[in-house]
Amino acid sequence: MTEKEKQQAGELYSPNDRELVADKVKARKLCVEFNNAECNDYQKKERLLDRLLALRGDNVTLEPNFYCNFGYNTVIGNNFHAEYNCVIIDNADVTFGDNIFIGPNCSFNTTVKPEDAETRSKGLEYAKPVKIGSDVEIGGNVTVSAGVTIGSNVIITPGSSVTEDIPSNCIASGTPAKPVKALAPVVRAEKTAQEAEKAPAEEKKPEPPKPRTRRLEIHRVEP
């Protein structure tokens, strides 16, 4: 197996592998170009994100400075907004659902160093995926560690460190972050629309016929 294959499989690998370093350099150049783009050059920013990220939905905005390690391991859903200085160390998959709002100075890290000092001194590491559900707000200065899953309809309070999984429908806070308050499940308007489609459609009343008009022609008689 190549080091890249080991990385994607969650096995111990060397981040100094030539192929991985080349991929990282490519992503870093795109990040620099994205961060230096004119703030109102939206088309250029979208083109750069399409080249950088594995997949992105509609209405995705990332304020500068934004950095990621590879880009091709990051998937972003619809309605995503990240404030300044968002960092995604996507050595493994990092997946965001829909309706995500991220405060400034947040980081998402997928790398894990070995506990064994001798192995760690060789520069080897693991990569574990991070998954964020939908309808999630992450406050400023939050760090999310490798292997963590955050459910849907979750608020992470500013300054928290998320080192363990967070269930859906809650507010989580602290270091390590723990659920501190339950939230009511999200009820989408789309469900109401689906129910409306299943309901029998009302019969449309026929429109009354439009009154016919006669054109009055005036014939002039020459004297």
Q: Half-sphere exposure of 207 toward its Cβ, with a 13 Å CA cutoff?
A: 3
Question: What are the pLDDT digits (tens) for 171-184?
Answer: 999 999 999 999 99
Q: Half-sphere exposure of 85 toward its Cβ, with a 13 Å CA cutoff?
A: 9
Q: Tell whether 178 is covered by a domain.
A: yes
Count Cβ atoms below 10 Å from residue 124 Cβ, excluding itself. 19
Reply yes or no on whether the pLDDT at 211 is more than 80.
Answer: no
Question: What are the pLDDT digits (tens) for 155-203?
Answer: 999 999 999 999 999 999 999 999 999 999 999 876 545 555 555 444 4
Q: Tell me the C-alpha distance between 12 and 126, whole Å.
A: 5
Q: Tell whether 192 is covered by a domain.
A: no
Q: Tell whether 42 is covered by a domain.
A: yes
Q: Tell whether 116 is covered by a domain.
A: yes
The CATH number assigned to the domain holding 101 equals 2.160.10.10
* Domain count within the chain: 1
Give the structural domain span for 128: 3-185
Q: Tell whether 13 is covered by a domain.
A: yes
Q: Tell whether 100 is covered by a domain.
A: yes
As a whole number, the mean pLDDT across the chain is 89
Q: Tell whether 175 is covered by a domain.
A: yes
Question: What are the pLDDT digits (tens) for 2-14?
Answer: 999 999 999 999 9
Position 189 scores a pLDDT of 75
Q: Tell whether 214 is covered by a domain.
A: no
Question: What are the pLDDT digits (tens) for 42-86?
Answer: 999 999 999 999 999 999 999 999 999 999 999 999 999 999 999
